Amino acid sequence: MLITGVTGKVGAALAQCLLSKDIPFRAAARNPSHIPQQLSLDDRVDVKELDFSRSHTYKYAFSGISTMFLVVPPDFLDIGSLEEALKAAKECGVQYVLFLSYLGSEKMMYIPHRKIERMLMRMGFQFIFLRTSFFMQNLVTDVKQNHEIYYPSGNGEVSFVDARDVAEAACLSMRRKFRNEVYYLTGKQAFSYAEIARILSDELGYQVTFRNYTKHQFMNRCEQAGLSAKETLLLANLYTSAKNGTLKKVTRDAEKILGRSPTDIREFINDYKSAFHSQMSP
């Protein structure tokens, strides 16, 4: 099997899950020389270059592969190159694609994930789509050094999910028959960012404050922090979607796949306490 996005939150955890089960796999990235150092991978992992915009990398990445874990970032725009890569994958024998998508992707047309889902279906791959809510891991960097969270999310609730649970669900899903299924992976409960700030304060011993910015205020703050106009607009749209309730859905899909309850938000915060303290140090 082939793992793309192996240095990301889910890809890295999926790689470790596969290694723990002694399952060999191929890891692909645009800069493959960085993978072993970043992830402490061993000789069981076949590392290859894969850049969707460079067609000469396709054959080496896809040859001998039947199952692929596919990840693209929310700001991915090069749909044409991805389609060419998927055509090459199919020609090389890839039959099954597990695609990491977004909860509410059908409503968030500013990200490419729904278009990619349709592409995979149209091209005849057997698929599993894992549509996930926001990752709990993002909360570590959401809290700024002045102990504030500022987003244009209003009272909108988000059913945060632990990326480790998503990786475990992906690991289990890739080892069974693909039946063209869609799963919605969420946490056990949805929270507003104001509620998240209170929980963080309780668990960490810091006073964490949520600032309910307007979209305009948020974009100005992002620009002052040095983010590009594209990054700023993407983030503003994502958190406005949260405000509008796109990410509040709670399902039992993660529990069905994992055979256990998904990670609780307080459990997650305690697991990552050192990372939070490092991020929030005065």
The domain that holds 89 is classified in CATH as 3.40.50.720
User: Is 45 a member of any domain?
Assistant: yes
User: Is 61 a member of any domain?
Assistant: yes
State which residues form the domain around 111: 2-135+161-186+248-262
User: Is 140 a member of any domain?
Assistant: no
Q: Are residues 282 and 145 in contact, defined by beta-carbon separation less than 8 angstroms?
A: yes
Give me the long-range contacts of 102-107 (CB less than 8 A, separation at least 24). Answer: 102/74, 102/131, 102/132, 103/131, 103/132, 103/133, 103/159, 103/184, 103/185, 103/186, 103/246, 103/247, 103/249, 104/131, 104/241, 104/246, 104/247, 104/249, 105/131, 107/241, 107/246
Residue-level pLDDT, tens digit, the chain, 282 residues:
999 988 889 999 999 999 899 888 999 988 877 676 566 666 778 889 999 999 999 999 999 999 999 999 888 888 999 999 999 999 999 999 999 999 999 889 899 999 999 999 999 999 999 999 999 999 998 887 789 999 999 999 999 999 999 999 999 998 888 889 999 999 999 999 999 999 999 999 989 999 999 999 999 999 998 999 989 999 999 999 999 999 999 999 999 999 999 999 999 999 999 999 886 655
Predicted TM-score of the model (pTM): 0.93
User: Is 54 a member of any domain?
Assistant: yes
User: Is 69 a member of any domain?
Assistant: yes
User: Is 46 a member of any domain?
Assistant: yes
Q: Total domain count for the chain?
A: 1
Q: Are residues 185 and 163 in contact, defined by beta-carbon separation less than 8 angstroms?
A: no
Residue with tokens 């100005």: 220
Q: Distance (Å, rounded) from C-alpha 195 to C-alpha 203?
A: 12
User: Is 192 a member of any domain?
Assistant: no
Q: Distance (Å, rounded) from C-alpha 174 to C-alpha 122?
A: 21
User: Is 83 a member of any domain?
Assistant: yes
